[in-house]
Structure 1
Amino acid sequence: MRARKPAAGQNARQTILDVATQLFANQGFDAVTMRQISQSSGFSMPSIYHHFGNKEDLFKAVELEMYSAHAQKLLDQIQADATPEHRLIKFINAMFERLDNNPDYRKLLQRNLVDGWEENQIFLVETSLQVVVDELRQLLNLYHPGKGDGITPLAIFAMILGFVTMTPVIGHIKGDLTIGNSSDRRPFIDAVMDFIRSSTH
């Protein structure tokens, strides 16, 4: 990442967050140094420490910004003024859209799920995932009583993340590298809805 020169009046905290987000997403928490963030953002290390305290606090600030914004968008769809089925479809589409259109978010989430850092996984659950899962359970039970019980809500998350992660491979298997464009999202949404309709609690 090329170092940037801070502009006059630039929001230092947001700039540092943006740069750190890209670095953490691409390299992971352990590989990124505060000096690297300083060089890439154009802000001094004392300035970074002033805003965030330490690298772990900065990483949590990055995740909080990313996950909270995404959680609110998902909640908006779950709580939309529509039938339960249409709300489920809107929720699934919103998840696909965020994962498709924000590579930094997708990489951070994938790293968080597989890196084995339990404290950070708990942070993810507490800051965004739990409230979305709770609301999704209620919506599923409204759609069909008992459908929100058991593992179905988490299985939906896993399916969507799996589809997005595997999209490039699916494109190669099918010989169609255009798979994964927004116009191709419908078959994936239909597959998740078919799972919801057929799953038992």
Structure 2
Amino acid sequence: MEVYEVLETGETEFLNVNTIQDALSAKKVIIILDHEKKTVYIHVGSEATTRLKFSSARSSRRILQERNLAYRVKTVDEHDLPSWFEGIKEKVVRSNIRKEPPPLEILKILRKIEKSEPINGYNSEAAVIKNKFFKLQEKSTTIMGKDHSVEKFEQVQNLPEGFYLLPGDYKTRLYIEKGKVMGIELLKGNNKSES
């Protein structure tokens, strides 16, 4: 299972929680991907804004489209929860982000990818190194009253099984060293390229 919060901007933010219940809030709209049941649950908090409610439908479709998944979508309202959802609320969510750092060899390749020249109109989104998948995550912290954010690759575990096609706005870039493919970078179009 994966859990995402729908933001006012229409974007989604991955939530690293222990159970589904930990993510639920009256003011939030939460998207839950259940890979076992091939279902997306959209939990709409009773105090969630209309904007969040509309954004959740688009956000869930985008997540499914980006991963080429054909899951059912079920919307549940906090003030009218069906009885079957009670069992889902208590489910344990396995963390998708690895806690221990990857081996030094992989870290070196990730740093080279991070430092590589960007391609006009594309942003780095993920990388495949050896048999590991890494997603670019934004980390924020406050130091002496000032907010600082940095993007770092974090390993994603418990990937859903199957074959996935990249949507048309993605490109791949290979990192080759001494005649061997060391890594594959996935780049997503940012609609800022000059035609």
**TM over 0.5, shorter chain:** no
Of Structure 1 and Structure 2, the greater helix share is in 1
In the superposition, the TM-score normalised over structure 1's length comes to 0.23
Of Structure 1 and Structure 2, the greater strand share is in 2
In the superposition, the TM-score normalised over structure 2's length comes to 0.24
